[in-house]
Chains A and B, each alone.
Chain A
Amino acid sequence: MNMSSLQSLIYSLLTASVLVFVLNVYRTLRLISPSAKGVIRSGSWTARTTDGSERMTMHQRAVVACTGLWAMNSNEAVYFTALHDSNGKRLSCKETYHIKGMDFPARWWSITAYRNYQLIPNAEERYSFSATNIVREADGSWCLTLSPQHWSGNWIPLGNAPGQLVISLRLYNPAANAVEEIANRPLPEIVIVPSEQTGVLNVSTELPTGGIR
C-alpha cells in the first residue's frame, strides 16, 4: 500500500466514524421524540413500550443497555423517565420539586430519584417511594417532595452534590388499558418549589407513627 492509499483509507475511516456518530445522535434524538414509535408521553414523563423487549431496534437496544440494563418488557413493567419539570426546565439536584398525584393504572408503582442516572447517597437511605409506603391524604392523593433540604412527609433527599436529576416512575404489571388511561388522566406534574419556600416544612402529609422515617 502506498502512502496516498493509506492516507485515503485513514480519511475514509475518519469520515465513516463521523458519519456513524452523527447518525446515532440523530437516532437518539428520534428515539426520545414524542412522535417516535412506541413512545408514550405525558407531561414531563416519557416511556417507550418496546424497552427491554425483543422488538427493540439495534440502536434502542444499545441505548437501553447503557441507560437501564435488564429492563423488563412492557407487559411486566413500564418505565417512565422525567428529565424536565412541567415548565420544561431541566431537573436539577440543587432544586426542590413537588409531585402530586393519585394511584397509577398498575398493580404496583414506585418513583425513584437519580443523580446522573445513579441512586443518590443520603443519610436517610431513602431513594424511592412506592404505592405501598407513600403517605396519602384521605382521598388517596399524595404529595412527594424531592429536595436537598429536609422535608417532612414523603421526602426523597437529593444529597448535596449538584447534577442532573432524573426521576423514574415504574408501573409494575400495568393495566391493559394503561396507555389510554394515562392519555385521559395525565401523569402528575413535576413542580419546582420557589427557593424562598424551601427549607420550610409545609407538606401537609405528616409522618405515620412507627412507619416511614
Chain B
Amino acid sequence: MPDAINSMVWILTTLAIAVIFDRAVLWFIPRIVSARAIAAIRRRAGGVNRLVFHGLNTPMNCRTPLSTADALMTLCPYDVSVTPLRLGVTIPDDTYWSICCYGSNADNIFAMNDRQLPQRTGSNVFFALHTEGFPVEKSDNEISIPLKSACGILLIRTGVPDPHDQQTLAKLESNQRLACVASQ
C-alpha cells in the first residue's frame, strides 16, 4: 500500500512539474526572443524611445525568420512607463504604410495603416504612445496610441513597389527618415 501511495505521489509531482514547466517555457519563449531582438535594436538606436532606420531587409542585415524583403523598416524600442512618447512621421503617397506596436510578449497590440489615418497621405502625422489610462494632453493633429504594454517595439513599414527602382526607393527612404521623436 505505501508503494502505491508513493507511486501516486510521484505521478502527481511529475504532472505538476510538467504543467509548471510547460507554462513557464511557453510564457518565457516569446518574451526572451522579443527581448533579445529589442536589445539588439536598442543598442543600434542608442537607447529606448529612439528611432532607428533599418531600410530593406537583406540576408546580410537581418536574421529574423521569414522577414519581409519588400518594406522599408523604421524601428523604435519604446518605454512609456513614465512618460508618453511623441513621434512625428511623414506618410508616403501611393504605397502601403503602417505603424505597429508590439508588446513585450511580441503580440501586435496596435496597428494602423495609411488608409486608416484621418490625415491625407503626404502630410506629417503625430502619434502619442502611452499606457492605457495614462492621462495624455492631446494636441490637434495627434493620434493617440494607448498601449497595454509599457515596453515593447514600434515598427513603421513602408511598402516598396520595386526594390530595384533606385529613384523611388531613395524617395521613400528619405521620406521615412523624416520620422522623429517629437518629445517624451
Contact = CB atoms under 8 A, between A and B. Distances in A.
A116 to B, nearest CB: 9
Contacts of B102: 70
Interface residues of A, number: 58
Contacts of A112: 66, 68-70
A168 B67 CA distance: 10
B164 interface: yes
B59 A119 contact: yes
B96 interface: yes
A130 B163 CA distance: 10
B40 to A, nearest CB: 12
Given A12-B13, A12-B17, A58 B65 contact: no
Contacts of B21: 16-17, 20
A59 interface: yes
Question: By CB atoms of chain A within 10 A, which of B25, B34, B96 has the most?
Answer: B96
Interface size class of B (residues with CB under 8 A): 35 or more
A141 interface: no
Contact of A15 (B14, B22, B57, B109): B14
Interface stretch (A48-56, A144-152, A176-184, A187-195): A48-56
Contacts, number: 160
Contacts of B62: 119
Given A67-B66, A69-B65, A72-B100, A119 B57 contact: yes
B182 to A, nearest CB: 24
B30 to A, nearest CB: 4
Interface string B155-176: 1000111111100000000000
Contacts of A36: none
Given A70-B108, A76-B108, A79-B66, 8 more contacts: A56-B107, A69-B34, A117-B66, A125-B58, A127-B70, A128-B69, A130-B160, A133-B165
Interface of A: 8, 11-13, 15-17, 19-20, 23-24, 52-54, 56, 58-59, 61-62, 64-73, 75-76, 79, 81, 107-108, 110, 112, 114, 117-121, 125-128, 130, 132-133, 166, 168, 170, 172-173, 211-213
